[in-house]
Structure 1
Amino acid sequence: MQWLNYHHLLYFRVIANEGGIARAAEKLRLGQPTLSSQLKQLEDMIGKPLFERRNRKMVLTEAGRAALDYANEIFRLGDEMIEVLQDRTSQNQTHLQVGALDGVPKSVILSLVLEAYKVGPCTVSILEGKGDELFRELAAHRIDLVLSNYPPPAEQKQMFAKSVAKLPVAVYGSKQFQSLEKSFPKSLDGKAFVLPTMHSRLRHDLEHYFKLQNIQVLPAAETQDTSLQRLLAANGIGLTALSEVAIEDVRDKDLKRIGRLSGVHEEVWLMSAQRKLENPIAAKLMKVFSLR
């Protein structure tokens, strides 16, 4: 039986990622002849060339591309194993790492944390950020769960998502817009709005609502950051539509509630990624956590 030499696999992976032996040797602090020899041994063991030279560049062969996919998965699983086992054995409680999008109400994050403590002894780390960043961290297993106000991209096939909350949405504005309460929602026609960005599920639901009500609004600004939406609206840039829970979280005195949008909700999703060694707290939360 032939045994895979993980040093050879590591050297191959660095060469592929760095685009050549010279840069890989510099990164690994090895001599180029040594690195070339190690790569040759791996190719001899596999029985196929992993690179071909084109215009003085090293380009992966078909076998090389397949080998790199396996190498990435092997080292990812190794990192995951160390992280999970260290978390479980270094202390009597599990370390749960949660990512939350900027637009998720703080009270929803709090509810998840409290539920985690009920599930079992744990330490919770919370990372707030943007969707693409957090989805990458989740896919790489550097965090265990993500709370988002939109589902994961379709190409993220190794992610699991479930809807955990549907929050009622209302229109808010500065004092100058308070008179719009009287004939709401028709009074919104022709008014400036601070809207969520187009990739947001709420943005599409708002546009559908306005179309059904024969209301045309004027986009004054777009942002997925609810704190920025509130700030812009409070300074009279335009009206904004936010979940009532998000407003309750901050008790914003500069924003006045104009009216609730019937049938419009902001949905919150809880996501995890497929992994060989599950975080037990995260796995249980995926089953039991819900604010519906």
Structure 2
Amino acid sequence: MPGETNSQSYQWLNYHHLLYFYTIAREGSIAKASEKLNVGQPTLSTQLKQLEESLGKPLFERSKQRLQLTEAGRIALEYAEQVFNLGAEMVEVLQDQLQNNRVHVQIGALDSVPKDITHKVIMQAYKSGNCNVSVIEGSGDQLLRELESHHVDLLLSNYVPSLDFKTVYSKSIAKLPVVVCASEKYKHLKKNFPQSLEGQPFVVPTVHSRLRREIDHYFKVNRIKVDQVAEIQDTSLQTLLGAEGVGLIPVADAVAKKLTKDGKLIVLGTLKGVYEEIWLMAANRKIENPIAAQVMKEFSLS
């Protein structure tokens, strides 16, 4: 009977087999996957072999250095990612419905995003409906993976993801002018700004950020050579180094207002035409988080 044929065709696809394959592919080796899953290497090798035999195709090319995905392996990995993302989404949706009828909204924010913007997004979530909000901070790639796997509903970032994150979409919510801040000992550089920056030490963002590219372009166009003494991703650490006089720091004016109010730093001048752009991001989902979807649609700083 047709029903029996369909049932038999699905018997071989074991969820654990798929999980082991997925982890081996992500980690790059059976040894690393074994550590992550706390499962013995012989067991993983056996389970992987059984999955390959069921599929009738090898999923990896074996080499001494690293396992390389075959074409079949790359296709299988794409489907496995969808399976586990959908599983995580299902668990989150079901758990959210049990939390006092409140929708749970998880917001990720890069350290470099001004806290007042994160605060406004949180307030927009509360305005959108009865919800419970969690906020986590971290690095860009880490939070993007959390967003894509549905562990985070919304993400605030100062750069857009690469093409590797195909399920993520975004909208620009702010373009903040950028100023140069420094400790009091550099106050003489206010005069003849920005030419006064020639040869001065700078604590700049890391090369992954859009702001870093804008700053480098600004100095090139204006023929100003600065001494980049440090590259920092965490703006809190960048601020500490600036306050201690290690170097000058370029930051969004919204951040600078708080720093100068606290008396930690002074503003030397504005880098005309340079902006820190902030993006609000979400990921495509089978079942949308209603609060997150509304925030994504309606949030605006204007």
Structure 2 length-normalised TM: 0.81
> In the TM superposition, what are the counterparts of 1:125-136 in structure 2 within 5 Å?
125-136=134-145
Residue 158 (structure 2) pairs with residue 149 (structure 1): yes
Residue 103 (structure 2) pairs with residue 94 (structure 1): yes
Change (3 A) 1:63 1:240: closer
Residue 246 (structure 2) pairs with residue 237 (structure 1): yes
> In the TM superposition, what are the counterparts of 1:21-60 in structure 2 within 5 Å?
39=50, 48=56
Q: How many residues align structurally?
A: 282
Q: Do the aligned residues in 1 keep the contact of 2:181 with 2:256 (CA within 8 Å)?
A: no
* Residue in 1 that maps onto 2:287: 277
Q: 1:70 aligns with which of 54, 79, 90?
A: 79
Q: Distance in 2 between matches of 1:246 and 1:147?
A: 15
* Residue in 2 that maps onto 1:164: 173
Q: Do the aligned residues in 2 keep the contact of 1:186 with 1:215 (CA within 8 Å)?
A: yes
Q: Distance in 1 between matches of 2:243 and 2:154?
A: 32
How far the C-alpha of 1:275 sits from its partner, in A, is 1.4
Residue 11 (structure 2) pairs with residue 2 (structure 1): no
In structure 2, the gaps of 5 or more residues are none
Q: Do the aligned residues in 2 keep the contact of 1:106 with 1:249 (CA within 8 Å)?
A: no
Q: Secondary structure at the match of 2:262?
A: coil
Q: Distance in 1 between matches of 2:70 and 2:90?
A: 30
* Residue in 2 that maps onto 1:263: 273
Q: Distance in 1 between matches of 2:153 and 2:263?
A: 36
Instruction: After superposition, give the CA deviation of every residue in 1:69-128 in whole Å (9 maximum; x if it has no partner).
Output: 434422331221121122134321110001111111111100110111111111110000
Q: Do the aligned residues in 2 keep the contact of 1:16 with 1:60 (CA within 8 Å)?
A: no
Aligned AA (1:150): Y
Q: Distance in 1 between matches of 2:280 and 2:79?
A: 29
Q: Secondary structure at the match of 1:127?
A: strand
Aligned AA (1:11): H
Q: Do the aligned residues in 2 keep the contact of 1:13 with 1:68 (CA within 8 Å)?
A: no
Q: Secondary structure at the match of 2:83?
A: helix
Change (3 A) 1:90 1:215: same
How far the C-alpha of 1:156 sits from its partner, in A, is 1.4
Q: Secondary structure at the match of 1:73?
A: helix
In structure 1, the gaps of 5 or more residues are none
Q: Distance in 1 between matches of 2:221 and 2:69?
A: 54
Q: 1:105 aligns with which of 94, 98, 114?
A: 114
Q: Distance in 2 between matches of 1:263 and 1:53?
A: 50
Q: Secondary structure at the match of 2:89?
A: helix
Aligned AA (1:285): V
Change (3 A) 1:203 1:50: closer
* Residue in 1 that maps onto 2:17: 11
Taking only the aligned residue pairs, the percentage that are identical comes to: 45
Q: Do the aligned residues in 1 keep the contact of 2:22 with 2:80 (CA within 8 Å)?
A: no
Q: Distance in 1 between matches of 2:107 and 2:128?
A: 15
Structure 1 length-normalised TM: 0.84
Q: Do the aligned residues in 2 keep the contact of 1:209 with 1:264 (CA within 8 Å)?
A: yes
Q: Do the aligned residues in 2 keep the contact of 1:193 with 1:218 (CA within 8 Å)?
A: yes
Q: Distance in 1 between matches of 2:222 and 2:172?
A: 27
Q: Distance in 1 between matches of 2:59 and 2:162?
A: 33
Q: Do the aligned residues in 2 keep the contact of 1:52 with 1:61 (CA within 8 Å)?
A: yes
Residue 301 (structure 2) pairs with residue 291 (structure 1): yes
Superposed CA RMSD in Å reads 3.1
Aligned AA (2:288): E
Q: Do the aligned residues in 1 keep the contact of 2:204 with 2:230 (CA within 8 Å)?
A: yes
Q: Distance in 2 between matches of 1:174 and 1:54?
A: 56
Q: 1:180 aligns with which of 189, 200, 222?
A: 189
